[in-house]
Amino acid sequence: MIDFFRRRSAGLKDEVLAGVTVSLALVPEAVAFALIAGLSPLTGLYAAMVVGLVTALFGGRPGMISGATGAMAVVIISLVRDHGVEYLFPAVVLAGLIQMTVGLLRWGKYIRLVPYSVMLGFVNGLAIVIFMAQIPGFKTTEMTEDGPVTAWMSGPTLYAMLGLVLFTMLVIHFLPKLTRAVPSSLVAIVATTLIAALLLPQLGIALPTVGTLAGSISGGLPPFNFPVDPMTWGSLLTWGTLAIIAPYAFILAGVGLIESLMTMSLIDEITDTRGRGNKECMAQGTANILSGMFSGMGGCAMIGQSLINVNSGGRRRISGVVAAVCLMMFVLFLAPWIEKLSMAALIGLMFMVSIGTFEWVSVRTFGKIPKSDLLVMIVVVVITVVLHNLALAVLVGVICSALVFAWRHAANIGADTKPMDGGGKLYQLHGPLFFGSVSRFRDLFDPVNDPDWIVVDFYYTRVYDQSGLEAIHGLAEKYARLGKKLTLRHLSPECRLLLGRAGQFVEVNISDDPHYHVSTDRLA
C-alpha cells in the first residue's frame, strides 16, 4: 500500500481531530447508503451513530470505524422493496444475534484462512468500488417544468468541480510534508468548502453540497423502536415473520462480519498491531442489535473511513467515540452547517482513500506471482466490483484458493520403499493423504507382487479426511484378500480410532505415534 497511510504516533489531539475528520466523511456516506436502500437519511445516520459508538467502545480493533455500509445496503434493498421497512429493524436485530453467536463460538479466528491473494483482490476491488461510488457526484439536478432532471456536469461547473477535487487531493498529499499539527484531510475539507461557498458564487458557479444530496439531516436522538406496540408490531412477532427475515439476517450477518474482519486484518497490517476477531464479532453483534432497536439500518466496519482515521492519527478508541458523538451533534445541533459541506471536498477525500487502499504492488508484480494466485485475485476483484457483494467475493476466492491448493498437493504424496528383515517390505510415505491424493496413494502400492508382510509408515505424512481413511481401508482389504499382512505405523490417534472397523484386516502399531498441534483460540 502506498505511503498515504503513514505510521505515526497519536496523542489526544490527533485522536480528537481524526474523529472529527471521520465524522465529516461519514455523513454523506451514511446518507447515500440509506437512500440507496430506500430509507430516510436519518436511518443511515442513526446506524452510523449507534454502530460506530458501540464498536469503538467494545470492538476488537481500536482505530477501526464502523457505520452504515453499501455492502449491507445492497441486501436491505430487496428486503425493504419486497416486504416493507417495518421488517428491516427486526432483521437487523436478528443479524446482530447471529453475529454474537459467531463471537461466542469463537469462529472469528477463521479469518486466518483467507489467503493473501483473496485479501489483495478484496482490497483492490473495494478501492475500485470506492472510486466508482464518487462518480455520481459529478451530476447535477435541475428543476424543470417536467420535474427534476439529472445530467452530467459540463462547462465551468465541471471545471470548477474537477479543480476543487484536485485541490483537495493535493492538500491531503502535500500538507503533511509541511506540518502535522492538524489532519490534512480536515484542512482540505474546510478549505475546499470555503472556496466553494465564498468564491465560486461570485463567478456564478454553484457546486453540490451535502444538503444537495440529503436534504435536511436535522433530527433528534435515535428513537427507541423495539417491537412492543401490539397495534403495529404484534403481527410481526410470528414464525412467519421469522421465516421472512431469517434469510436476510443471515446474509447481513455474514456480509457484516466478513467486511469487518477483513478490514480488521488490513488495519492490523497498517498499524503493526493485532486485533481480536472474536471480540469484534461480539461488538458488531451488540451494535446491530441496538441499531435495530433504535431505528438504524445496521452496519459494519467501513474500510474507507477506517483508513481516513488511521491516516489522520487515530489509533485508539477515542477517535471512534469522537466520530460517533460528532455525528450526534451534527444531527441535533449543527445540521445547517454540515449540509453546506462541499461534495467536491468529500469526493477528493474518497479519491485519496481509493488510491491509498489499492495495493499497487499487485500491479508491479503482475507477471511475477503464480498464475493461480493472479486468477483468484482477479475473480475477487470482478465479483466485488460487479456485484458489490464482498461476502460472496471472499467466499468464492477462498474456495478457488482451496481448490488450487488441493490440486497442487494432490500429486505430492509419494513413498520410499525398502526391504525389511524377515522378508517384509516397508513403504515410507511422504506428503498429505486427502481426497485429492487418494488416486495417487493407491498407485503407490503393488499388492499382487508385494511380499506377505507389508509395513506402511505414516511418520512423514498426515491423513486429513474421510477419503484418506477409506483409501487406507480399501488398501487393507486388497492385501487381506491376497492373504498378506498389513501393518500401519505412526498413525495419528483420530486415524487409529476411525480405522477401528478395519481392524480385522490391518495391524496398527501405535508406538511413537506423532502428535499434531494447531493454533489456540487465544490468538482470536
User: Do the beta carbons of residue 64 and residue 316 sit within 8 Å?
Assistant: no
**Looking at residue 164, what DSSP letter applies?**
H
Q: What single-letter amino acid sits at 380? A: V
Tell me whether strands 414-419 and 425-433 are parallel, antiparallel or unpaired. Answer: antiparallel
> How far is it, in rounded angstroms, from Cα 313 to Cα 5?
9
User: Do the beta carbons of residue 18 and residue 313 sit within 8 Å?
Assistant: yes
pLDDT of residue 489: 85
Higher pLDDT, 353 or 174: 174
3-state secondary structure of 457: strand
**Mean pLDDT throughout 388-408?**
83
pLDDT of residue 426: 92
> How far is it, in rounded angstroms, from Cα 460 to Cα 430?
5
Q: For the ranges 71-80, 166-175, 268-277, 401-410, which has the lowest average pLDDT?
A: 71-80
pLDDT of residue 510: 45
pLDDT band at residue 304 using 50, 70 and 90 as cut-offs: confident
Which is it for the CA torsion 328, 330, 335, 341, positive or negative? Answer: negative
Tell me whether strands 485-489 and 506-509 are parallel, antiparallel or unpaired. Answer: parallel
pLDDT of residue 324: 94
pLDDT tens string 214-266: 677 888 888 887 654 444 445 556 777 788 888 889 888 888 888 888 888 88
Per the CATH hierarchy, to which homologous superfamily does domain 411-509 belong?
A: STAS domain (3.30.750.24)
**Looking at residue 330, what DSSP letter applies?**
I
**Mean pLDDT throughout 359-375?**
82
Residue 278 cell numbers, joined:
472474536
Which alpha helices (DSSP H) does 312-387 contain, by range?
Answer: 317-329, 335-338, 343-357, 361-364, 371-387
Q: For the ranges 5-9, 33-37, 79-83, which has the lowest average pLDDT?
A: 5-9
> How far is it, in rounded angstroms, from Cα 315 to Cα 61?
9
User: Do the beta carbons of residue 413 and residue 432 sit within 8 Å?
Assistant: yes
Using the structure block, give the residue that is written with the C-alpha cell 449543527: 334
pLDDT of residue 244: 85
Q: What mean pLDDT, rounded, does the chain reach?
A: 83
**Mean pLDDT throughout 114-129?**
83
User: Do the beta carbons of residue 66 and residue 286 sit within 8 Å?
Assistant: no
The domain spans of the chain are 22-359, 411-509
Q: Does the pLDDT of residue 141 top 50, yes or no?
A: yes
> How far is it, in rounded angstroms, from Cα 368 to Cα 381?
19
> How far is it, in rounded angstroms, from Cα 93 to Cα 241?
13
> How far is it, in rounded angstroms, from Cα 356 to Cα 350?
10
Q: Does the pLDDT of residue 5 top 60, yes or no?
A: no
User: Do the beta carbons of residue 377 and residue 363 sit within 8 Å?
Assistant: no
First to last CA, the chain: 25
pLDDT of residue 156: 92
* Count of alpha carbons within 13 angstroms of residue 448, beta-carbon side: 1
pLDDT band at residue 191 using 50, 70 and 90 as cut-offs: very high
Question: What dihedral do alpha carbons 406, 407, 413, 414 form, nearest 10°?
Answer: 180
Residue 356 cell numbers, joined:
491509498
pTM of the model: 0.72
The closest alpha carbon to 261, from 54, 68, 119, belongs to 119
Q: What single-letter amino acid sits at 85? A: V
DSSP codes of every residue in 49-90? HHHHHHHHHH-SSTT--EE--HHHHHHHHHHHHHH-GGGHHH
pLDDT of residue 227: 58
Q: Which secondary structure element, helix H or strand E, spans residue 151, and what is its range?
A: strand 147-152
> How far is it, in rounded angstroms, from Cα 130 to Cα 4?
16
